[in-house]
Amino acid sequence: MANLTIVTDDETLRRARIRALERGESVNQYLAERLREYAGVDEERERRQVAAENFVELSTRLAGTSSGRGWSRAELYDERLGTGR
């Protein structure tokens, strides 16, 4: 395990120690966890990137069309609200 030294002002460290005590952890534990998250693979970002790539690929493969049909605002609201005028 490696050691890391950071520099911060006394007041910030004091407040961080108080918060860590309130949460039942140490400042060191908190910072180590944040550093692991920072250095790790962002799985959510990776998942979103794959989803976006899949969407772009699908949109280029499928050629959907409304055959030139347009909708008015009233028609769209009727469809959404189920009022079906």
pLDDT in tens, 7-55: 999 999 999 999 999 999 999 999 999 998 888 777 888 888 999 999 9
Q: For residue 13, what pLDDT is reported?
A: 97
pTM, to two decimals: 0.48
Q: For residue 9, what pLDDT is reported?
A: 97
N- to C-terminal Cα separation, the chain: 69
The tokens for 64 are 């959907």
Q: Of 26, 31, 25, whose CA–CA distance to 4 is shortest?
A: 31
Q: For residue 11, what pLDDT is reported?
A: 98
Q: For residue 84, what pLDDT is reported?
A: 58
**CA quadruple 49, 52, 54, 55: dihedral, nearest 10:** 170
